């Protein structure tokens, strides 16, 4: 998933930027990546994937005389069914200089209440005690429905590195209460339901992480900018426009496979097939999604060249 947000996509209170720190991180990540370079035909173990991502993410690009980094922050998801594996991944994330770690609830042997879940998260966080820690709340996929608002109550006493939450659920009452009950704390509230982001911004979301930002990022940024300048009518138009596309693909059947297909379509970069049990997106899906992207002006070549997308709003 990719981040978007008015105040950064996560970990905005992180550990400070600076070219020196970035250069050091880049060296550490490059060393780790070189040490474990996989052969082309082998699947990447997760730690190798992290190293390679960090190297790429912390690399510089250049526009004119200005140098910039591809990513502002790299927050690594280290959740796993096994506590030990999660801890190893957390240690590795710290070694390669990640800006933070995130963890979903284990979903085979599920935690049955808040305390049990916090205990698990605490053990993972303790393996990387200098890294900001995020809980990734995604009940539709984990089946762990412990309310985030309950989980946050007193969490920093148990997990001192707790920094915030990625909230991937449509329960805006729960989300609103997370924000409302933690106003004194500087938590990051990263929202993960792209079609509802505007509502979450109104409630205090500080950023967003979601799948559609990989290809609807420009439209989302227009919405964020309108929101920042308090032009709520334009912000709503942009959100509705995004909803039109998401609503359309949700009805066709939308998940990771379809996301890969759309990303391939929009970027021209082959994303490869999904792993079983997932199946490739069907030809019909790709054709229909393409037509919809075109009709909303999300796919035209001019879209990539800074076109104003008012036709959609």
Ligand X SMILES: CC(=O)N[C@@H]([C@@H](O)[C@H](O)[C@H](O)CO)[C@@H](O)CC(=O)C(=O)O
The 10 Å CB-count burial string (b at 16+, else e) for 25-59 is: bbebbbebbeeeeeeeeeeeebbbebbbbbbebbe
Q: Measured from the CB of residue 250, what is the shortest distance to ligand X in angstroms?
A: 6
When asked if residue 57 is in the footprint of ligand X (CB under 6 A), the reply is: no
When asked if residue 1 is in the footprint of ligand X (CB under 6 A), the reply is: yes
User: Distance between CA 256 and CA 166 in Å, rounded?
Assistant: 18
Other Cβ atoms closer than 10 A to 167: 27
> For ligand X, which is the closer residue by CB, 9 or 26?
9
Q: Measured from the CB of residue 210, what is the shortest distance to ligand X in angstroms?
A: 3
Piece of 24-32, 62-70, 116-124, 191-199 that binds ligand X (CB under 6 A): 191-199
Other Cβ atoms closer than 10 A to 284: 9
Q: Yes or no: say if 128 and 42 are a contact pair by the CB < 8 Å rule.
A: no
Written as six digits, the tokens of 99 are 């800006």
From 99, 149, 174, 195, residue interacting with ligand X (rule: CB under 6 A): 195
Piece of 25-33, 193-201, 271-279, 295-303 that binds ligand X (CB under 6 A): 193-201
Q: Measured from the CB of residue 79, what is the shortest distance to ligand X in angstroms?
A: 10
> For ligand X, which is the closer residue by CB, 58 or 75?
75
From 10, 87, 210, 297, residue interacting with ligand X (rule: CB under 6 A): 210
Burial of 150 (0-12, 13-18, 19+ CB in 10 A): middle
Out of 134, 135, 166, 215, the active site residue is 166
* Dihedral in degrees, nearest 10, Cα atoms 231, 233, 238, 241: 180
Beta bridge partners of 209: 3
Piece of 65-73, 113-121, 187-195, 280-288 that binds ligand X (CB under 6 A): 187-195
Q: Which residues bind ligand X (CB under 6 A)?
A: 1, 140-141, 168, 192-195, 210-212, 246
């Amino acid at each position: 998933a990719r981040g978007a947000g008015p105040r950064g996509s996560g970990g905005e209170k992180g550990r400070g930027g600076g070219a020196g720190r970035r250069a050091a991180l880049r060296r550490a990540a490059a060393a780790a990546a070189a040490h474990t370079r996989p052969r082309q035909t082998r699947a990447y173990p997760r730690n190798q994937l992290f190293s390679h991502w960090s190297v790429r993410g912390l690399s510089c690009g250049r526009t004119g005389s200005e140098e910039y980094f591809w990513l502002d922050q790299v927050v690594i998801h280290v959740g796993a069914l096994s506590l030990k594996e999660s801890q190893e991944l957390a240690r590795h994330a710290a070694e390669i200089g990640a800006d933070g770690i995130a963890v979903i609830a284990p979903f085979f042997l599920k935690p049955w209440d808040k305390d049990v879940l916090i205990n698990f998260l605490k053990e993972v966080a303790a393996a990387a005690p200098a890294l900001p820690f995020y809980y990734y709340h995604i009940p539709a996929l984990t089946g762990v429905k412990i309310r985030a608002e309950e989980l946050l109550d007193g969490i920093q006493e148990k997990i001192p590195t707790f920094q915030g939450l990625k909230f991937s659920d449509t329960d805006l009452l729960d989300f609103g209460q997370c924000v409302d009950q933690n106003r004194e704390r500087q938590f990051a509230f990263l929202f993960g339901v792209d079609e509802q982001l505007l509502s979450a911004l109104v409630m205090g979301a500080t950023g967003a992480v979601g799948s559609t930002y990989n290809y609807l990022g420009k439209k989302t940024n227009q919405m964020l900018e309108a929101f920042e300048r308090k032009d709520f009518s334009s912000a709503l138009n942009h959100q509705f426009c995004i909803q039109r596309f998401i609503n359309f693909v949700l009805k066709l059947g939308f998940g990771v496979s379809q996301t890969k297909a759309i990303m391939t379509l929009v970027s021209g970069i082959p994303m490869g097939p999904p792993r079983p049990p997932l199946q490739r997106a069907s030809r019909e899906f790709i054709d229909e999604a393409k037509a919809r992207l075109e009709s909303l002006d999300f796919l035209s070549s001019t879209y990539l060249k800074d076109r104003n997308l008012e036709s959609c709003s």
